[in-house]
Structure 1
C-alpha cells in the first residue's frame, strides 16, 4: 500500500494543472469559493480590520458571491422587523453602491454561473437572475414543502449544470442552466417520513465528474455525473453538519460529533476525529496539508496527513457556525456568541492578527452574530451580520459619504497622540473613521499635521497616487489642520496629482466625503442670586446649558478683579444631546480674605473627560461686588 504522505506528494502536480482547489484570483462565485468547497482562495485577504465600506440592507444569513467587481447578497426574515423587504442585492465592490435589487429572500449561499446569479429562495424556488441588471431569466419550483427556511442548500454550478439539495425529499436535483429545466434527480426521504429527515444548511460538492452530497441527516452519497448512477454511499454516526470538502483523494465532512476523512474512491472511512461539530464547513489548504475546522469552542488547525494527531494549533475563542476561509497567510473565521467577532489568524501558527467585534446586543436581541460565511476576493473580505443587518467589506481603502457632528472647543487625538482641535479636517476624518470603521494614521510634524495612511493605503511611489484632500471641492492648501465650519464638506480621494474631484461621488472608488455639522453649544441664561456679597459669604449661580453631545460636563463659574484676584465654584451635570438643561446650580464660596471690589464672573462648560484641557463654551460676564 502506498503511504498516504507519498501519495499526496505524487499528486501535487495535479493541483497545478487541474486546479483541484481554489477560485480565480479575483472572484468568489459560490459558497466556500469553488466546486470542491475548499474555502481556499489564491488572493491575500485583508491585513487589518479596516472597513472599506458597509451597507445595511437587512438581516443577512446568505453567504455572498463576488464576481467581476460585483458582490451579491440576500436578506432573510428578521424577527425584529417582520415588515422588512426581503431581497437579493448587488453592490459595486469598489464603492458599496447598490447596482440593483430583486425582491426575493434567501437563507442559502448565492452562486454565480456564467452571467446568471442562482438563488435558492424561501418559498422553495430556484431563480436565475441576470448579474448585470437583476432581471429574472427563469424561476422553477424545486420543493413545494421546503419548510420555513426554504432552500438552504447553496447551489452548485459544475459542468454546465446546477445541483441543489431539497429538504422535503432529502434529494439532489439537477437543472439546466439555460432554462431551468430539470435534467435528473435522486431522492431518499419522502415527505411522508417528515421534512426534518433532510440535511439542512449543507451543500453538494463536485470534482472529477463526481458529485458528493449529504442526505437524510447522516447519509453521504457519491454519484457519477455522466451516468447519473450511484458510486457509493455511507452512513455516518450522526447528523451531517457541513458540506463535503474535496481533497486530492479524499473528502472531509463533519457531523455533530465527528470530523471524517472519507475515501473518494469507495466511500470508506480513512480517519475520524471527535469534535463538537457545527454547521461550519472546514477550509482546506491541500498545498500545505492543513484543514481548518470550526467547532463549538473555536477553530482548530489539523495536519491532513493525520487528523487524529495533535492539532497544529487551536484557537479556543467561541462557537463557530459560519465557515472559515483561507486567503494568503491568514485564515478568517467568525464566531457565533452573545457578542460575536470576526477573527484573522496566522494560518501557520494560529496567532491572532486582528479581530472585529460586533456591538453589544440591544433592544431585546439575545445576541449579535454573523449570519453569513466570509467570502474573499481581490484582497477584500465580505461578510454579512444578522444583528446589525450589515454587509461589511474589509480590506484596503475606504469609500463612504458621512455626516459628522463636531464640537467647537473640543479636541481630538492624532495617531501619534498629538491633540488638535476637533473642528478641523483631522477631526472630521477621525469622526468618520470611527463611524465607518476604516483606519487612519495621522501625525504632527514641523509643518503641521499630516495624513500618512487612510484605509491601509498611503503614498504609492509606483503610481504616484495618494489621499488628496479637497475642502468644499477645492484642493486643500492647508491639509488636515484646515479649520472646518458648519456646512463644510471635506473629501479625501485616493488619486494622482492634479486630478479633479468628481462632482458626483457615487461610484467613485476610494472617495471619503464628509459633511460637517458644528452645532452651536450654548449657555442660554446665566444668573447669580447676589450682586453684592460679604467676605466669607457665598453666591449661587444658575445657568441653562445645551450641548451637542450627551455626557457629563464640568461647570466652572469664576472671575477676577482688576488686580487678578479670583473667585471660583465648580459643579458637574449630565446632559442629553441637544437638550437644554435649565437652572443648573453652581455655588461660589467667597474666601474670608478675598479683597473687596468688583469681580466679573463667567460660567464655563467643559467636557468632563478632558477637563480642564479643552477650550470651553463661555457665558457672558456678570459683575458682582465683594464688600
Structure 2
C-alpha cells in the first residue's frame, strides 16, 4: 500500500524580530572540542580593516548546504559571523522573543567550521555586534546588548575582560563591530558618537567624542595611518547636531577632516585604493524625503567629494572589488546595484530582490553574496560581472507561524565556504561538493516496511509523508547515511501526486537546458520507472540509481550519479552458522526468499549417478519433513519473528537395497527473520 502526500506544518524554533539588532551573551561557557583546523580566516566585519568585503580564494558556486547550526542558536542572528582557526563565532539575542517554544539561548557561540557542532557558548555575552578576532592573540572582541565591550578567549569562551562603554544602551547595546588595527581595538558608541581605542589587555588608551547620537550599527574602518567613522557634532541648545564622516590621524589622535551630510551616516565606511595609490572612502546616508541622501565617494586624504549618487540606503555598507562598488537598497528600493568605484557610473542593477538588503555584501571568486530582509529570508549569490542570479536559497515560512527568516547578517567567506546568519534559524554554511568521479556515493540502506519518512518541499515549505520503501525514501536514507543534502519540489504534486527531486549534493536541475535528476531502478534489467520517486515502491535487493542529465541520459553517460542498494526490514536475512560435509561429497545449498515470512530451502547433490539420498529436515531441532532423491526442498512459514536453526541431514543409499553410501550431509543454516 502506498502512502502519498500527507501535509504537516514545519516546526520552527524561534520568532522573527523586525528590528535588526545583534547581540551577545555568556556566563559560564559550555565547553567542547573542535576537530577542524584552518589557516584561512574571516576575522572581522567585511573581512579587513578597510571593510572592503573583498575576499580571495574559492567560494560556493551552488546552494549546497554544508550544515545548519542547532536549535540553541535560533534567535536573532543579524551580526555577521567571523571565522578563525577552524571555528565560527557569532552572537544571538531575543531568542524566543515572540513566545515560540524551543531551546534557543541568547549567547556568544563558537562552532566547528567543518561540522557546525558547538564547541562552546557563553550566555553572559549576548550580542549586538559582529565580533573581531585578533587571531595571533587568541582573543575575540565583541559589543554586547548591555552596553559592554568584552574580550573573550577564543579557545575556551571565557571572558578575559569587560568594559562599560555605552551608558545608554537602550534597545541596541554596543552595535558597533570592533576593528582590530595596528595593535589596537576600536569601537563606537552610538549615544554620544564616540570612538574608543583599547589595548588588547582592556585599557582604554584614548577616545574621541563627536557628542551626539549616531546610527546604532555604525562601525569604524582604517586605512594607512587614518581611521574613519560616523559622527554627529554637538549642537547648540535647541538645535540639531551635524551628521558627518570623520577622519582621525592614528598617530596624533587628532581630526584631519570631517565631511558633513544632511542626514545620518549609515553603516560603515568602505575604503578602496587602486594600485596602492591614494584612496577613496565610500559611505551611505539615510533616506529622508526632501533632503540630500545617497552614496558618497570622498578622497581619503583630503575629505573632498569625488562623486555622489542618490541612493535609498539600507543599513548595509558597500563592498568594493576590482574597481566596482556593490550595494543593496532599502525596503523602498529593493534593487541591488553595481557602480564603477572611480566615478559612480552604473554598471548593472538587479531588481529581483523583494526586500531590503540590510546585509553588507561580500565579494569572492567572481561572485557577490548577501542576505535579504523579508519574511521568507533569502541568501543570494550574484555574478559580480553582470549581476545575474547564480543561485539563491530561501527559507519559507510555514502557515500559522508569526515570525520570519530575516537574513540581515553580513556573510563571511573562508575556506571555500559561505557563512551567513538567519533569524530564528542560526548560521547556514554553504560549500560546493567535490565530485571528481561521476559516482559520488554508493552504499546500502535499510528501509522498514509500513514505516514513513517526512520530506519537505523547498519551494513551498509543505511537508509530505511518504513510504520509506519508495525510491525517494531510499534517497532520504542514503542522504542521511552519506551526509549529503537533497531537495524536492512539489510543483507537480497537485496534478500528478509526484514529488520532483530538484537537487542532490548541491547539483540543481537546470531550468534552461532542462537537465535534471532522474532515477532508475535495477538498471539496465528493468525499464525506467514512469512515476515520481515518492510513488515507486522498491523491494528488497533493488538497486536504485539517481543520475543527472537530459531525457536521453542514462546511468552510463551521466556526469553525476549515486547508487543505493535497498534492504527491506522484515524480509528474511540468511546468515551461515556452520556447514559440515564429508570431504568426498559435493553439494550446493540455495536459499530463496518468496515472501517475508515464507522461505524455501533446496539441497542437491552431484556425488554420482544412481546415488539417492534419504533426507531429514528439522527446524530448531523439530523434524519437519523426510524425503528421498538426489535433491530435496523444504518450504516453511515462519509465523513469528526470531532466530531459527534450519538443518537437513542426507544419507546416501546405493543401488543395492539398503546399501548405505559413506557420504553424509549435515547442513546447518541460521535464519534471522527481521524484527517488526
User: Cα–Cα, structure 1 residues 332 and 321, in superposed 2: closer, same or farther, change >3 Å?
Assistant: same
Query: Which residue in the other structure is 1:597 paired with?
Result: none
Q: Is residue 39 of structure 1 aligned with residue 53 of structure 2?
A: yes
Which of 70, 75, 88 does residue 92 from structure 2 map onto? Answer: 75
Matched residues in 2 for 1:404 and 1:300: separation? 50
1:67-111 CA-partner distances (Å, limit 9, x unpaired): 111100110124224995311111111111111111121121111
Q: Residue 381 of structure 2 aligns to a residue in which SS?
A: strand
Query: Which residue in the other structure is 1:201 paired with?
Result: 217
Q: Residue 356 of structure 1 aligns to a residue in which SS?
A: strand
Query: Which residue in the other structure is 1:624 paired with?
Result: none
1:142-166 CA-partner distances (Å, limit 9, x unpaired): 1222221100000000001000000
Matched residues in 2 for 1:351 and 1:25: separation? 32
Which of 421, 440, 455 does residue 384 from structure 1 map onto? Answer: 421
1:386-425 CA-partner distances (Å, limit 9, x unpaired): 1x33210011359xxxx99977498999xxxxx9834864
Q: Residue 133 of structure 1 aligns to a residue in which SS?
A: coil
Query: Which residue in the other structure is 2:269 paired with?
Result: 244
Q: Is residue 89 of structure 1 aligned with residue 156 of structure 2?
A: no
Shift of the alpha carbon at 1:426?
2.8
User: Cα–Cα, structure 1 residues 435 and 442, in superposed 2: closer, same or farther, change >3 Å?
Assistant: closer
Is the 1:425–1:483 contact (alpha carbons within 8 Å) kept by the matching residues of 2?
A: no
Is the 1:88–1:102 contact (alpha carbons within 8 Å) kept by the matching residues of 2?
A: yes
User: Cα–Cα, structure 1 residues 268 and 485, in superposed 2: closer, same or farther, change >3 Å?
Assistant: farther
Query: Which residue in the other structure is 1:111 paired with?
Result: 132
Shift of the alpha carbon at 1:222?
0.4
Matched residues in 1 for 2:210 and 2:358: separation? 26
Structure 1 gap ranges (5+): 1-23, 191-196, 414-418, 454-465, 470-478, 487-627
Matched residues in 1 for 2:258 and 2:310: separation? 21
Q: Is residue 480 of structure 1 aligned with residue 502 of structure 2?
A: no
Q: Residue 420 of structure 2 aligns to a residue in which SS?
A: strand
Shift of the alpha carbon at 1:137?
1.3
Matched residues in 2 for 1:97 and 1:71: separation? 10
Query: Which residue in the other structure is 1:279 paired with?
Result: 315
Query: Which residue in the other structure is 1:290 paired with?
Result: 324
Which of 64, 68, 75 does residue 50 from structure 1 map onto? Answer: 64
Query: Which residue in the other structure is 1:26 paired with?
Result: 40
Query: Which residue in the other structure is 2:646 paired with?
Result: none
Matched residues in 2 for 1:420 and 1:225: separation? 68
Query: Which residue in the other structure is 1:326 paired with?
Result: 363
Matched residues in 1 for 2:53 and 2:226: separation? 19
User: Cα–Cα, structure 1 residues 255 and 219, in superposed 2: closer, same or farther, change >3 Å?
Assistant: same
Q: Residue 477 of structure 2 aligns to a residue in which SS?
A: helix
Which of 77, 83, 86 does residue 66 from structure 1 map onto? Answer: 83
Query: Which residue in the other structure is 1:496 paired with?
Result: none
Query: Which residue in the other structure is 2:150 paired with?
Result: 127
Shift of the alpha carbon at 1:344?
0.7
Matched residues in 1 for 2:228 and 2:249: separation? 9
Query: Which residue in the other structure is 1:181 paired with?
Result: 203
Shift of the alpha carbon at 1:328?
0.4
Is the 1:73–1:89 contact (alpha carbons within 8 Å) kept by the matching residues of 2?
A: yes
Matched residues in 2 for 1:443 and 1:116: separation? 51
Q: Residue 53 of structure 1 aligns to a residue in which SS?
A: strand
Is the 2:406–2:422 contact (alpha carbons within 8 Å) kept by the matching residues of 1?
A: yes
Query: Which residue in the other structure is 1:136 paired with?
Result: 159
Matched residues in 2 for 1:412 and 1:340: separation? 23
Q: Residue 174 of structure 1 aligns to a residue in which SS?
A: strand
Which of 473, 477, 483 does residue 428 from structure 1 map onto? Answer: 477
Shift of the alpha carbon at 1:438?
5.0
Matched residues in 2 for 1:108 and 1:409: separation? 46
Taking structure 2 as the reference length, the TM-score comes to 0.58
Shift of the alpha carbon at 1:266?
1.2
Matched residues in 2 for 1:452 and 1:182: separation? 61
Matched residues in 2 for 1:54 and 1:98: separation? 11
Q: Is residue 215 of structure 1 aligned with residue 231 of structure 2?
A: yes
User: Cα–Cα, structure 1 residues 126 and 410, in superposed 2: closer, same or farther, change >3 Å?
Assistant: closer
Query: Which residue in the other structure is 1:590 paired with?
Result: none
Is the 2:447–2:474 contact (alpha carbons within 8 Å) kept by the matching residues of 1?
A: no
Is the 1:168–1:198 contact (alpha carbons within 8 Å) kept by the matching residues of 2?
A: yes
Q: Is residue 254 of structure 1 aligned with residue 284 of structure 2?
A: yes
User: Cα–Cα, structure 1 residues 306 and 404, in superposed 2: closer, same or farther, change >3 Å?
Assistant: farther
User: Cα–Cα, structure 1 residues 173 and 409, in superposed 2: closer, same or farther, change >3 Å?
Assistant: closer
Q: Residue 175 of structure 2 aligns to a residue in which SS?
A: coil
Comparing 90-99 with 215-224, greater Cα deviation is found at 215-224
Matched residues in 1 for 2:105 and 2:470: separation? 43
User: Cα–Cα, structure 1 residues 408 and 422, in superposed 2: closer, same or farther, change >3 Å?
Assistant: farther
Matched residues in 2 for 1:404 and 1:35: separation? 53
Matched residues in 2 for 1:143 and 1:406: separation? 59
Structure 2 gap ranges (5+): 1-37, 233-241, 274-278, 287-292, 435-444, 456-467, 489-503, 508-516, 526-542, 549-559, 571-676
Query: Which residue in the other structure is 1:353 paired with?
Result: 390
Shift of the alpha carbon at 1:37?
0.4
Is the 1:423–1:485 contact (alpha carbons within 8 Å) kept by the matching residues of 2?
A: no
RMSD: 3.3
- The number of equivalent residue pairs is 422
Shift of the alpha carbon at 1:25?
7.8
User: Cα–Cα, structure 1 residues 352 and 84, in superposed 2: closer, same or farther, change >3 Å?
Assistant: closer
**Considering only CA atoms, is the larger Rg found in Structure 1 or Structure 2?**
2
Q: Residue 138 of structure 1 aligns to a residue in which SS?
A: strand
Q: How does 1:517-536 map to 2 (within 5 A)?
A: none
Q: Residue 322 of structure 1 aligns to a residue in which SS?
A: coil
Which of 227, 233, 237 does residue 258 from structure 2 map onto? Answer: 233
Shift of the alpha carbon at 1:35?
0.6
Is the 2:453–2:473 contact (alpha carbons within 8 Å) kept by the matching residues of 1?
A: no
Matched residues in 2 for 1:129 and 1:484: separation? 51
Q: Residue 337 of structure 2 aligns to a residue in which SS?
A: strand
Q: Is residue 393 of structure 1 aligned with residue 429 of structure 2?
A: yes
Matched residues in 2 for 1:97 and 1:410: separation? 28
Q: Residue 256 of structure 2 aligns to a residue in which SS?
A: strand
Shift of the alpha carbon at 1:49?
0.8
Q: Residue 481 of structure 1 aligns to a residue in which SS?
A: strand
Is the 1:222–1:230 contact (alpha carbons within 8 Å) kept by the matching residues of 2?
A: yes
